[in-house]
Amino acid sequence: MRHYLWYDTNNQIQGEMLFEGGWPIGADPSDPASTHEAAVANRDHFTALPNFGGIIDYNCPCPPSDRFCDCARQQVDGCYIDGASLAVKEAINFVIDGNSVSHNNNRDAPHLLAADAAFTLRLSGSLPDDTQITLDNCAGGVELLSTPQVLTFAGGATNTLNLTVPSAGQTGGVFAVATKLYPSLRAVVKGT
């Protein structure tokens, strides 16, 4: 099934252009000659944005009968544009108290980690040494960090943070905004 994604001037995918059952042949928002109503409406809307970089197509294996396939949405946070094609971002894992917690992307349900005192947190992944990721508090919960914290990769992992679990029944979380190298990150901790 054909989908279209739009990206910004930094080659970061910002969103998908939806068409139930996939875009039909001839309805191409990236083609200025396409006169299909939905293609024109999407093209006009996204090209008017100040940070618009371009449109790229993405073909998933779902049949058009899967009218609301979610494949394109999964590419938004997990890929970027490399030349004229999609490239997959490096996977990053949270390491909580020494245990790796896999993480796909920020749109997935966050991992709820119940704990009863203090815990350690670091990140692991195949990012180049000296890559820095800034973690901040998620909105709407107990603050786990007094200030945003910069974690720096060396040898496939970052430095370790020592954090305190929220009081029983309260929730707090940390996040990092996506860059070209890695997807958005989010982990949530709930006090027990």
pTM higher than 0.95, yes or no? no
CATH topology of domain 92-191: Immunoglobulin-like (2.60.40)
- CB contact set of 168 (below 8 Å; sequence gap of 6+): 191, 192
Q: What's the DSSP call for residue 48?
A: T
For the stretch 113-134, pLDDT in tens is 666 678 888 989 888 899 999 9
All structural domains of the chain with their residue ranges: 2-88, 92-191
Q: What share of the chain is helix, strand, coil (3-state, %, to 5)?
A: 10, 45, 45
Q: Convert the pLDDT of each residue in 69-101 to its tens digit.
A: 888 877 887 888 988 888 888 878 888 888 877
Q: Does the pLDDT value for residue 110 go beyond 60?
A: no
CA distance 157 to 7: 29
The pLDDT assigned to 109 comes to 44
